[in-house]
Chain A
Amino acid sequence: MPEHPRQLHVNVNILQAGVFGGSWRFPGTDPLSCYRLDHYLRVARKAEAALLDAVFLADGAAIRDNIRYRPTSSLEPTIVLTAIARVTERIGLIGTLSSSFNDPFNVARRLATLDQLSGGRAGWNVVTTADAASARNFGLDQAVEHGLRYEVAAEFVEVVRALWRSWEPDALVADRERGVFADTSKIHAIDHGGAHFAVAGPLNVPRSPQGEPVIVQAGASSDGRALAARVGEVIFTAADTRAAAQEYYLDVKSRAAAFGRRPDEIVILPGLSTVVGSTDAEVRQRRELLSELVHPRYAIGRLAGQLGLAEETLALDRPLPFDLLPEPEQAAGARTFYGIVVEAARREQLTVRQLLHRLGGGMGHRIVAGRPEQIADTMIDWVDHGAADGFNVLPDVLPEGFDDFADQVIPELQRRGRFRTGYEGTTLRQHLGLREPDYVRPGVEAGSGAVDE
C-alpha cells in the first residue's frame, strides 16, 4: 500500500426509494417516501454522519407511463436541497437542473442562493434532458437534437458562471458612517449576447462562500465528454466494466488537458448501485428479491423505450432482436445507457430476462452486490487502476440499504485508510479537493491574469 493512499470521494444519490425498479416494494420500505421531505432529510443526515462528500439529486421534468409501476422524479431538487442545508452542516448538496428547460438567470440565482444558505456546499449537475415527454412540458413537440442541446448547454454554463462572478468578493461594504451598503463599482453587469442567450446581469446575490458552486456533468457521448472536459469539475458517469471506466477516465482527463486543465481539477465518480449483505447467502437472497420485485411489465416497457423498440418485439426468454435495433443516434433515450445495454447483451449473449436481471432497474449503472469488504475491494480497485476518483453511490433501497452502506462499507474504507475520518473543510469544494476559483470579472477571460482595469 502506498504511504499516502488515494482517498475516495463518495456521494449518495437519493433516488426515490432506491435505484431498482422494485425498491419501493422492498419489505419495510415506505413506498411513497419520495414525496416526503423527511425521507431526504433522513438520508442526508446519515450521509453527513458517514462523512460523505455530498448528496446528489437526479431530476426530470415529466412523469413517464411507468409511474404505474415505480416512482419517478418528484419534489424539485433545489427545494429539497435547501431544506437539507437547514438540518446539516457539512455535507455537499448537488442538484440536477436542465440547461434545455430553464433560464440561466434563474438557475444561477437559485444555486447561488443554495450556496449562501448552506455556507458554500452547492453543486449543479448540468443535464441537457433527452426525452420528448419533458420537451412537451415546455412548448416543444420533441426533444431538441443532441448536438444542439450540448451547444446550448455550453453557452448556458458560461452565462451562469459569468453571473456568479457579478459581485466582486469585497463588494459588500456596509459603511454605516457614510451610509454606503455596497460598492456598486464592484458589482458588474455581464452583458452576455450569444447564439442562444441574452442576459444583462448583474446577479443579485453576492459571491459564494466557496467562490462558485461546483459544476457537475454526466455526459458520455462525444459532445458530453467535450462539455465535461471543458466545464465539469465532478463527472458523474455510467460504466459497467473497469475497462470502460478506464477508457472514459483517461479520455476525459486528456480532453481536459487540452483545455488547459489539470487532471486533479476533475473528480470522476462513476455510478455504483450497491447491494450490501453480511454473508454471501444474504447478498444473493437480497439481490434476487430486488430483481423479483421489479414489475415485469415495467421492466420490458422501459427497456424497449430506452432501445427505441416496440414493446412487443421483446420476449423474456429470447435474446434482444439485434436486427431491429435502431442506430444509437435514433434511439430515444440517453446514448450512454444504450451503448452499455447493447454491448452487454451481445458480449454475454443474454436473454431479455437475463438482461433485465442484470439491469435490475439499475439505470445502466454498475451493480455491486457483496459483503462490505468485497464492496470496499472493488471500489478501491477501480480507484487504484485509473478508473475512478470515487463513486456516486445508488443504494438498492433507501434509507435502509444506505444505512448498511454507511455503517459497514464506509468504516471498511476508513480502516484501509482510504476514506476521511473527519471533515477537513466546510465547503463542497474543500471536500472534493477542488480549488476555489480566483475571482475574474465577467467578460475577462479566466486565466488571463487580468483582474479589474
Chain B
Amino acid sequence: MSDDGLHFLVNVTGAGYHRAAWLDPGVAPGSFIDVDYYQGVAETAERGLFDALLLPDIPQQNAGIATAPTQSLEPTLLCAALAVTTERVGFVPTLSTSFNRPYNLARRVLSLDHASNGRVGWNVVTTAAPGAAANFGQEVLAREDRYRRAAEFVHLANRLWDGWEDGALVGDQESGEFADPAKIHPAAHHGEFFAVEGPLNVPRSPQGRPVIVQAGASDPGIRFAATAAEVVYGAQLSLPGAVEFGREIRAMAAAHSRDPGQIRFLPALVPVVAPTEQEAEERWEQLQSRLPPGPTVAARLEAALWLRPGILGGDVDSPLAPEIFTRSLALHEGFPRAAARFAAETGYSAREFARHISGGHRLVIGSAQQVADHIEEWWRAGAVDGFTIAPPALAHDLQSFVDLVVPELQRRGIYRDRYPGRTLRANLGLPVPANTFAPFAALADTAK
C-alpha cells in the first residue's frame, strides 16, 4: 500500500470489457476506430485523476470480431493522438517483445514519451498466440524462452533509453556545437536474442525512462515482473490471494536488490456501479441480457468462466470444485490458479461465481459506497496500491465510476483531489531512475 493513496489505470479495449458493450445504446459501431470516442474516454479518465490508460493489444485479427469489436488501432499511435489533447493522464500501450525489434520499439515509445512530455509507460507482453506469430513468419516460443527474450528486450530498452546523458544536447548556436558525443553512449548490446549497437536518435525521457508495466501471471511472468516491472496488474480475484501475491512479488523484487516500495500493484477490477445497488444490478442484467443466449444456463456459465463445455453436468447451484479450473480454457495464465483459490475460499456455485468474476477479473456490482468499500478494504489490507479498472462498457461505465466512486473515495481521504505531478512517474509516485551511464549525476544535482 503506497502512502500517497490509491492509483487507477483504465483498461481501454474496443467498446469495453464486456462482450456485449458495443450493443449499449449510444455506442456507434465505428467507435473502436474513432479517435473522438477514445478522446472522450481519456477526458473522463483525466477528470477522474487516473494515472493512465492501459491499452491491451495483440498484432492479430482476433476471430471474436464476428460478434464484437476487437483491438484494431495500433496503440502507440492512438496514444500519440490522445496525448496532444490531454495534459495529465498517462498512456500505457501494450507492445510484444516477441514481434518487435528493440531499437524500433524503444525509439517509438521514447518518441511518444517526448510527445506527451513524459506520460508514457510500456505494457510488456510476450504474446503466446500462434495467429500473431504467423503474421511474423514465426512460431510461438516456449514460455521460458519467451520470458528470457522479454527480459533481455527490456534490459536493452532501458539501456537504449539511457543512452543520452543529461547535458548531451548542447545546441550552442554560437560555437556550432549541437551535441556532446562524449555524453551519448551506445548500448553495445550482444545478447542471446539481440545484437544492437545504438545509441537511439532520441534524447532521454522527460521522466527519466518510460514506466515498465507487466501483468505477471505465470511463474516466469511473476519472476519477470519482480525483476523489471514498476507497475504490476496481475489477475487477483480474492483479497487473501491479492495480499499473498503482492507480498510475494515485493519479496522477489527485494531479493533482486530492488526497493519493493517502488512497485505499484494494480490488479484488474470490473466495476458495475449506479446510484443504488438495485440500479447497479439492473445495469448488469441489461449487459448480460444482450449476450447471445446459450442453449442452457449451464452452457452459458461454462462459457463465461472459461470452463470446458459440459463440465458442470448441468449443475449450476452446488459449490464449484476448485479442481475444475485446472483444465480451464482461459488464455491468461494466472486465471486458473486465482479461480481455483477463489472457489476454495468462497464455496460459490457457478451461478454465484459468475456474479463475482467477469472475463477473468473480479467483478463488483453495487452502489458507489459498496464499490468504494471493496476498494478501500483491499487497499487498507495492504494488498494493492489501486486497481486497473476494466469498465464493462468503456464510455458509460468509466463515467459512472468517475462520477460516483471517485468522489466517494475522495471523501474517505484515500484518493487524491488533484494530480501530484506532470509525468506518469510523478503521478504514480515512482522516482526518476538514475542513468545507467551516469549513475551519480542525480546525486551531484542534489548536492548542488
Instruction: Give the interface of A toward B (CB within 8 A).
Output: 22, 24-25, 29, 31-32, 35-37, 41, 60-63, 65, 67-76, 78-80, 82-83, 85-87, 101-103, 105-106, 109-110, 113-114, 116-117, 133, 136-139, 166, 172, 174, 176, 179-182, 184, 187, 197-206, 293, 295
Contacts and interface: CB of A to CB of B under 8 A. Distances in A.
B444 interface: no
B196 interface: yes
A85 B195 CA distance: 35
Contacts of A68: 177-181
A113 B74 contact: yes
Interface string B59-90: 11111011111111110111011011100000
9 contacts: A35-B169, A63-B201, A74-B111, A78-B80, A83-B81, A86-B80, A101-B104, A137-B196, A204-B59
Nearest to B180: A68
A235 to B, nearest CB: 26
Given A114-B77, A137-B103, A176-B23, A31 B171 contact: yes
Q: Which of A78, A80, A113, A114 counts the most B-chain CB atoms under 10 A from its CB?
A: A113
Nearest to A72: B201
A62 B81 contact: no
A79 B176 contact: no
Interface string B194-230: 1111111111000000000000000000000000000
B173 A62 contact: no
Contact of A37 (B103, B115, B131, B198): B115
B103 A181 contact: no
Interface residues of B, number: 69
A114 B81 CA distance: 9
Contacts of A174: 22, 29-30
B173 A106 contact: no
Nearest to B138: A198
Contacts of A137: 103, 196-198
Contacts of B29: 172, 174, 181
A205 B71 CA distance: 9
Contacts of A295: 176
Nearest to A59: B201
A182 B100 CA distance: 28
Given A67-B179, A113-B78, A181-B66, A35 B61 contact: no
B80 A187 contact: no
Given A31-B171, A74-B202, A79-B76, A22 B62 contact: no
A441 to B, nearest CB: 15
Nearest to B34: A116
Contacts of B101: 101-103, 138
A124 B416 CA distance: 44
Given A68-B181, A79-B80, 19 more contacts: A31-B178, A63-B200, A63-B201, A68-B178, A73-B201, A76-B111, A76-B112, A79-B77, A80-B115, A85-B81, A105-B59, A106-B59, A138-B101, A179-B20, A181-B69, A184-B63, A184-B65, A199-B136, A204-B59
B178 A67 contact: yes
A113 B77 contact: yes
Is chain B's binding surface mostly helix, strand, loop or mixed? Answer: mixed
A17 B63 CA distance: 46
Given A24-B173, A86-B81, A181-B65, A116 B137 contact: no
A69 B202 CA distance: 16
Nearest to B14: A181
A37 B100 CA distance: 24
Contacts of A114: 77
A197 B67 contact: no
B129 to A, nearest CB: 11
A352 to B, nearest CB: 19
Given A83-B83, A113-B78, A179-B67, A37 B114 contact: yes
Given A138-B101, A179-B292, A200 B135 contact: yes
Given A24-B171, A204-B61, A106 B66 contact: no
B169 to A, nearest CB: 6
Contacts of B71: 204
Given A83-B80, A184-B63, A187-B65, A105 B135 contact: yes
B332 to A, nearest CB: 19
A83 B59 contact: no
Contacts of B20: 179
Contact of B197 (A82, A117, A136): A136
Contact of B171 (A32, A61, A79): A32
Contact of A86 (B23, B74, B85, B131): B85
B81 A182 contact: no
Interface string B147-187: 00000000000000000000001011100111111001000
Contacts of A86: 35, 80-81, 84-85
B141 interface: no
A78 B195 CA distance: 25
B311 interface: no
B107 A76 contact: yes
A79 B104 CA distance: 12
A206 B72 contact: yes
Nearest to A172: B29
B173 A31 contact: yes
Contacts of A25: 173, 176
A128 to B, nearest CB: 16
B176 A205 contact: no
Given A116-B73, A117-B77, A62 B194 contact: no
Contacts of A31: 171-173, 178
Contacts of A101: 101, 103-104
A220 B244 CA distance: 63
B171 A182 contact: no
Contact of A139 (B66, B74, B135, B196): B196
B80 to A, nearest CB: 4
B68 A82 contact: no
Given A102-B104, A117-B78, A87 B135 contact: no
Contacts of A202: 61
A79 B78 contact: no
A22 B136 CA distance: 42
A76 B160 CA distance: 15
A212 to B, nearest CB: 16
A406 B312 CA distance: 71
A175 B262 CA distance: 47
A82 to B, nearest CB: 4
A201 B136 contact: no
A117 B176 contact: no
